[in-house]
Amino acid sequence: VRQLMKQRRPPGFPPGPSPIPVIGNIMSLATEPHVFLKKQSEIHGQIFSLDLGGILTVVLTGYDCIRECLYNQGDVFADRPSLPLFQKMTKMGGLLNCKYGKGWMEHRKLACNSFRYFGSGQRQFERKISEECMFFVDAIDEHKGKPFNPKHLVTNAVSNITNLIIFGQRFTYDDRNFQHMIEIFSENVELAVSGWALLYNAFPWIEYVPFGKHQKLFRNAAEVYDFLLEVINGFSQGRVPHAPRHYVDAYLDELEQNKVEPGSSFSQENLIYSVGELIIAGTETTTNTLRWAMLYMTLYPNIQERVHREIDSVLENGRAPTLEDKQKMPYVEAVLHEILRFCNIVPLGIFRATSQEAKVNGYTIPKGTMVITNLYSVHMDEKYWTDPGVFSPQRFLDSNGNFVKREAFLPFSMGKRCCLGEQLARMEMFLFFTTLLQRFHLQFPPGTVPTVTPKLGMTLQPQPYSICAVRRQQKS
């Protein structure tokens, strides 16, 4: 009976599909949820509700509606839902999943400052990314144009940029322990939205059911935690207080300060959670973007050729790209933007919650309600895009071939909880992509054409594919 009571929508709540008793609309998230939810919005409106096994959830659709909530009412929509799974994983602490309040503010500020101080604010940081780009293309060269799956190399190379900020060091491409950690962590990103995880959130007692994917998720999380604890201890050796070398040192300074002025949210546990979140948020997303980019360049040889032409004309005599070259490469910029729009790396954003009662479009949403932002629906919004279902970098160029920003483009979301790694991700994508295509022509192994159907999870990634990276002769 309690379950049924919880299912009832409160007065003024947005409408939605009728729930099946007990499990509600959980099944609606089973296959391509972002596509399904967009279709549902055509029936129920831009703002509608779902019952996820007793957890009433509001879904926001389209650019106007998402902007109204995340931007115009930034504070109101800045919380994260206290789902049993998140409570178990990070006790609603850390950074990415932290409740909206002092703890989140302290962690976000420290992370942003560290990203600036140890990252983009340092003159030699760009050189370090370029160095990683070289390790990356050299490792690809070892395949000598033969088919290989680029997933692990891209993951390693991309995560090393975040590693520089967090630990002050990169991990070599043969570091099996680090690779294993990333692998099971990223498996958890997939499992976090699997049917089992949704069921766990609705019925936390299934924790005691000894089989099921939720058990795998818990085991992985425990293993990642132990690995990070060890690595953090290693990298904090030789620390000099108030002379931080990286994010971990900066965090430990705050932690010590905490002993003098108690009451802050910095703790050993939150250090481990936030390090884990920064690593996975930075790696999974940027890696998937680059893997999609490689796949689409191979699928559209004429687009790849135009990228090659632009790269060759700007980077004379095959010199390495720098961030300054970005303004001179509007076509590369357009391609990367269209990949982010079309491939929808984080299709439903990261679940939000209302921090107080919200009023939107005449509806009333109580405090603490879970909110899903359908970012995919923004990128497919017919009001802002013509033929949104067509892959066309051209839409980011004006008639003179200059790059143009588009409003309904939210791969990094918006508002208080927007992606804090956007700037870093943009640097990485540009430098990795141009370095890669400067050196190679990408093509499928003869007789194969991989599918573009994504693998489902919190993030969308291509199904594993093999590719041939053939060294090109540069025309200058």
* CB atoms closer than 10 angstroms to residue 172: 10
Distance CA 192, CA 94 (A): 17
Give helix then strand counts, H and E, for the chain.
Answer: 16, 10
Which stretch, 19-27, 184-192, 240-248, 277-285, contacts ligand HEM (CB under 6 A)? 277-285
Q: At what angle are helices 102-115 and 268-299 packed, to 10 degrees?
A: 60
Among 345, 358, 372, 437, binds ligand HEM (CB under 6 A): 345
Which stretch, 27-35, 201-209, 310-318, 345-353, contacts ligand HEM (CB under 6 A)? 345-353
Find the shortest distance in angstroms from Cβ 313 to ligand HEM.
26
Q: Which of 92, 102, 3, 12 is nearest to 55 (CA)?
A: 3
Of 432 and 465, nearer to ligand HEM (C-beta) is 432
Among 79, 106, 249, 277, binds ligand HEM (CB under 6 A): 277
> Which H or E run includes 59?
strand 55-61
In the complex, which residue's CB is closest to ligand HEM?
A: 421
Distance CA 179, CA 75 (A): 38
Among 6, 108, 143, 472, binds ligand HEM (CB under 6 A): 108
- Interaction mask 159-178, ligand HEM, x per CB under 6 A: ---x----------------
Token pair, residue 111, equals: 């992370």
Which stretch, 213-221, 246-254, 394-402, 417-425, contacts ligand HEM (CB under 6 A)? 417-425
Residues 6+ apart with CB under 8 A from 25: 16, 17, 19, 50, 51, 52
Measured between alpha carbons, how far is residue 365 from residues 4, 198, 361, 368, 426 in Å?
Answer: 19, 22, 11, 9, 35
206 binds ligand HEM (CB under 6 A): no
Beta carbons of 280 and 186 less than 8 angstroms apart: yes
Distance CA 24, CA 57 (A): 11
49 binds ligand HEM (CB under 6 A): no
Find the shortest distance in angstroms from Cβ 106 to ligand HEM.
12
Distance CA 351, CA 30 (A): 16
Find the shortest distance in angstroms from Cβ 420 to ligand HEM.
5
Which stretch, 3-11, 201-209, 275-283, 363-371, contacts ligand HEM (CB under 6 A)? 275-283
Find the shortest distance in angstroms from Cβ 415 to ligand HEM.
7
Of 381 and 468, nearer to ligand HEM (C-beta) is 381
Q: What are φ and ψ of residue 442, in 5° steps?
A: -100, 130
Of 379 and 441, nearer to ligand HEM (C-beta) is 379
What does the binding site for ligand HEM look like in residue numbers (CB under 6 A)?
Answer: 95-96, 108, 162, 277-278, 281-282, 285-286, 289, 345-346, 349-350, 352, 373, 411-413, 417-421, 424-425
